[in-house]
Amino acid sequence: MSQIDRVRWKRTLRTPSSERLLGLLDGRDAVAVDLHFLADGTAAGTVTVVEGSGFNREMVPALLERIDDDFLPGVDLDEGGVTFTVVWAVGAETFESARRD
């Protein structure tokens, strides 16, 4: 099984026109994806690859294909209609504001 096939996706946010996904590999954060579905039927996404996740630049095309296949029905990476920005991050953490009473 390839490393890309081993990624387990967790949806962390969904709106009518966007969603955020976290890709876990061996229980660790490996990839974060923000997808935006545009009114003209196209999509735009930012894919953040966490350094040390085991992904390298040569694996990016296959990773983008997996994201396209799994989360972008009706949009085809090979036919156009989707644009990805890929960012390489040294680390990633989630911070959530506390509610004030």
- Number of separate domains in the chain: 1
- DSSP-based three-state secondary structure for 16: coil
Q: What is the pTM of this model?
A: 0.85
Assess if residue 20 is contained within a domain.
yes
Q: What is the pLDDT of residues 34-59, one digit of tens each?
A: 999 999 989 999 999 998 888 999 99
| Domain ranges, residue 49 | 3-89
pLDDT at 92 over 90: no
Single-letter residue type at 24: L
On whether the CB atoms of residues 43 and 53 are closer than 8 A, the answer is no
Asked if residue 99 is part of any domain, the answer here is no
Q: Using the 8-state DSSP alphabet, how is residue 2 labeled?
A: -
Neighbours of 76 (CB within 10 A): 12
pLDDT of residue 15: 95
Q: Is residue 96 part of a domain?
A: no
How far apart are alpha carbons 21 and 84 in whole angstroms?
14
Q: What CATH number should be reported for the domain holding residue 40? A: 3.30.300
For residue 101, pLDDT beyond 90: no
Per-residue pLDDT, 97: 79
